[in-house]
Amino acid sequence: MRAICVMGPTAVGKSDLAVAIARAFGGEVVNADSMQVFRHLPIGTAAPTPDQFAAAPHHLFAYLEPDEEPDAGDWARRAAAVLAGLSARGRLPVVVGGTFFWMRALFEGLSDIPPIPAEVRAAVLGAIGREGVEAAHARLAEVDPPTAARLARGDTQRVARALEVFDATGLQLSHFQARVPQPAVRAEVLRLIPLLPATALYARIDARAARMFRDGLVEEVRAVLAMGILPDARSLKTAGYAPVVDFVLGRCGEEQMRERVARGHRNYAKRQLTWLRREEGLRLDASAGWDTALDASRTFLQG
């Protein structure tokens, strides 16, 4: 199986490139963005436009409710099934998104840790709330010394995760991480990485944030809250939505909201660029059009 993976920072034009490749080579677009899996949130997640959806078949967009939890392992299993189906039909999978960890889960694999029951997670977090993270770290040192040795005593998130794994499975996190990861799907992959100079990228991000507000971002959040989704739902706690929730609930003013949203998207792009510096793939000038990407895709598909 061959697949093309379009990975780049937010606002660089990944969706346009993915659709162009799908149209040129009989492909279908597969989402790898952890925010675009949510229903009812197309504006703030920069989901593909109706024209983009109409230009090529799309998969794994908008399949979770806003208060559900996206998961790399679950997504990778879904995506593997989609890719297998596309390959069986002779269609080219074009995987696109900004959640690069998910792409790694799909094509390279993750430690095979079983899902953690919600009650186990709640118990661990409750204990940390009562006793403090240092006490949790001390317990971790007893049950999983290798993991405790590499985690800072104040790293609440990772200490809690390691204890959750032990309490749910009876096995140490280090036990799972020592296993050789298995990819969810085996494929030859061409990674295309469209990029822009920082000043141009941040200008695009700011312009897109302004467009989101014109398109009804505030109204989108009001509608989701009116559905009964809590303000602390996973989807609404992101840097692109939390300021809007605060504005709707009267916690901040409009100007502050707008600046926080734009800054959140810029900071997200910085984290993505840090990841991409370590990623192997064909780097493209996103301002020059997609001819180079299409030529590279054609060469890759011809073997």
| CATH number 1.10.20.140 is the correct assignment for the domain at 118-177 | yes
| Fold agreement between 2-110+182-301 and 118-177 | no
Contact predicate 107/280, CB 8 Å: no
Q: Which residues of the chain have pLDDT under 70?
A: none
Q: Where are the alpha helices (DSSP H) in 58-132?
A: 72-88, 100-107, 118-131
Contact predicate 103/38, CB 8 Å: no
Tell me the sheet residues that pair with 29: 58, 94
Domain extent listing, the chain: 2-110+182-301, 118-177
pLDDT single digits (tens) 12-46: 999 999 999 999 999 999 999 999 999 999 999 99
Note the pLDDT of residue 113.
Answer: 78
Contact predicate 263/284, CB 8 Å: no
Q: Which CATH architecture has domain 2-110+182-301?
A: 3-Layer(aba) Sandwich (3.40)
Q: Which structure tokens are listed for 220? A: 């989108």
Note the pLDDT of residue 148.
Answer: 96
Under DSSP, the state recorded for 34 is: S
Note the pLDDT of residue 118.
Answer: 87
Note the pLDDT of residue 180.
Answer: 73
